[in-house]
Amino acid sequence: MLAGFMGAFASQFLVPGVSAHRGRQCAHAGIGRVLFAQAVAYYSFKQPVSARELSGIALIVVGVAMLVAV
């Protein structure tokens, strides 16, 4: 319950951050949050990572790299 609340609380500040600052940097923060949540699930809860999740992580990393390159 606490984890869900904290995720929703963090999302509340992503939207104002995008409107108040350059959107690309805030979008990186939102994407990084997904990777951080996956790492916490793996290391803290010993939740295995599926091949589908690994391919999603790879797509996120490629997408961020493309945004940084622009």
Residue 62's pLDDT is what?
86
Region 34-51 average pLDDT: 84
- The model's confidence at residue 19, banded by pLDDT at 50, 70 and 90, is low
- The model's confidence at residue 41, banded by pLDDT at 50, 70 and 90, is confident
Q: Domain tally for the chain?
A: 1
Residue 70's pLDDT is what?
72
Across the chain, what does the average pLDDT equal?
76
Element (H, E) at 4: helix 2-20
Residue span of the structural domain in which 16 resides: 2-69
- ∠17-5-46 over CA atoms, to 5°? 105
Angle between helices 51-69 and 23-45 (to 10 degrees): 150
Residue 25's pLDDT is what?
60
Over 70: is that where the pLDDT of 29 sits?
no
